């Protein structure tokens, strides 16, 4: 694992829900509206995490089946216990080597995962391999180099003021390819054609500063992983700086943008 990836802690479903799941769910709803896939299809959700996208597919798309494939056993256990729909199945697996038959899936989807996969080309090639002819390969990632996710940007900006090393951990630096051009190029290299890109914007609303800060103390995800690697005085200094800069006026409202990609196979 490279040093910037060492805080990418994915395992505890409840903690993830508070940090990212609640926002990921909002993007999933808009993404599926855009995808506008027919009913009664077989879907996979690559890197399904705690199940945010799978749950939205079940709610919105009337699928025949949804199979979530996720590397973290903790997340798979969480998804199995919270999503009990008979059409859903969750397995531990790797996006770079999918445990799925070639040409068997109508809609291959993935939410906020591709940038974390070490070999993105392998993941996209696998996503294409398992799609049926005429099927869809589609995914979304945060617009890290651009509008990004307001609460992450605010966190890293404050962290970098207190710790030089935090500068290199910012997702915008780690994932510069998360632009329409960068993602389209990755898709083309994996043999995906007729690629379309759509911006999906949401607003992250935190009623209080504690609602903003608490998820960073739960350790699930890169920024929370970094936050919990700090000793108590340094963490308190970071909390204090954030409270002073963004948390002094009550409700905090921040934008977030994801890029959604679709390709017909």
Ligand X SMILES: C[S@@+](CC[C@H](N)C(=O)[O-])C[C@H]1O[C@@H](n2cnc3c(N)ncnc32)[C@H](O)[C@@H]1O
Q: Give the interface with ligand X as residue ranges (CB under 6 A).
A: 10, 20-21, 24, 47-49, 52-53, 70-72, 75, 94-96, 111-113, 116-117
By beta-carbon proximity to ligand X, the closer residue of 21 and 225 is: 21
User: CB of 47: closest distance to ligand X in angstroms?
Assistant: 3
Q: How many residues does the chain have?
A: 265
By beta-carbon proximity to ligand X, the closer residue of 144 and 209 is: 144
Rounded Cα distance, 192 and 7, in Å: 31
Residue with CB nearest ligand X? 49
User: CB of 8: closest distance to ligand X in angstroms?
Assistant: 8
By beta-carbon proximity to ligand X, the closer residue of 50 and 247 is: 50
With b for 16 or more beta-carbon neighbours within 10 A and e for fewer, the 78-92 pattern comes to bbbeebeeebbbbee
User: CB of 189: closest distance to ligand X in angstroms?
Assistant: 18
Alpha carbon 226 to its chain's center: 18
By beta-carbon proximity to ligand X, the closer residue of 112 and 158 is: 112
User: CB of 113: closest distance to ligand X in angstroms?
Assistant: 4
By beta-carbon proximity to ligand X, the closer residue of 78 and 239 is: 78
Burial (CB < 10 A; 0-12, 13-18, 19+), residue 249, is exposed
User: CB of 26: closest distance to ligand X in angstroms?
Assistant: 11
User: CB of 175: closest distance to ligand X in angstroms?
Assistant: 12
By beta-carbon proximity to ligand X, the closer residue of 70 and 106 is: 70
Helices (H), ranges, the chain: 13-16, 22-35, 52-60, 73-82, 120-130, 150-162, 171-174, 180-189, 209-213, 222-229, 232-246
Given a contact cutoff of 8 angstroms between Cβ atoms, the answer to whether 1 and 117 are in contact is: no
Given a contact cutoff of 8 angstroms between Cβ atoms, the answer to whether 93 and 87 are in contact is: no
């Amino acid at each position: 694992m490279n040093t910037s990836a060492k805080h990418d802690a994915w395992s505890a479903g409840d903690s993830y829900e508070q940090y990212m799941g609640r926002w990921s769910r909002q993007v999933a709803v808009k993404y599926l509206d855009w995808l506008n896939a027919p009913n009664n299809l077989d879907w996979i959700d690559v890197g399904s995490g705690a199940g945010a996208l799978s749950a939205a597919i079940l709610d919105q798309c009337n699928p025949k089946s949804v199979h979530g494939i996720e590397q973290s056993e903790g997340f798979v256990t969480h998804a199995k216990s919270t999503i009990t729909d008979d059409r859903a199945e969750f397995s531990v697996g790797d996006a770079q080597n999918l445990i799925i038959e070639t040409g068997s899936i109508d809609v291959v989807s993935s939410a906020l995962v591709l940038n974390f996969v070490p070999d993105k080309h392998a993941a996209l090639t696998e996503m294409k391999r398992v799609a049926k002819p005429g099927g869809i390969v589609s995914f979304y990632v945060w617009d890290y180099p651009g509008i990004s996710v307001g609460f992450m940007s605010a966190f890293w900006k404050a962290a970098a003021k207190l710790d030089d090393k935090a500068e290199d951990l910012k997702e915008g630096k780690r994932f510069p390819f998360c632009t329409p051009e960068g993602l389209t190029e990755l898709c083309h290299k994996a043999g995906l054609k007729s690629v379309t890109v759509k911006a999906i914007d949401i607003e992250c609303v935190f009623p209080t500063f504690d609602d903003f800060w608490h998820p960073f103390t739960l350790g699930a995800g890169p920024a929370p992983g970094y936050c919990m690697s700090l000793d108590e005085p340094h963490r308190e200094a970071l909390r204090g700086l954030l409270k002073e800069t963004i948390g002094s006026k009550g409700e905090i409202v921040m934008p977030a943008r994801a890029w959604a990609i679709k390709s017909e196979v």
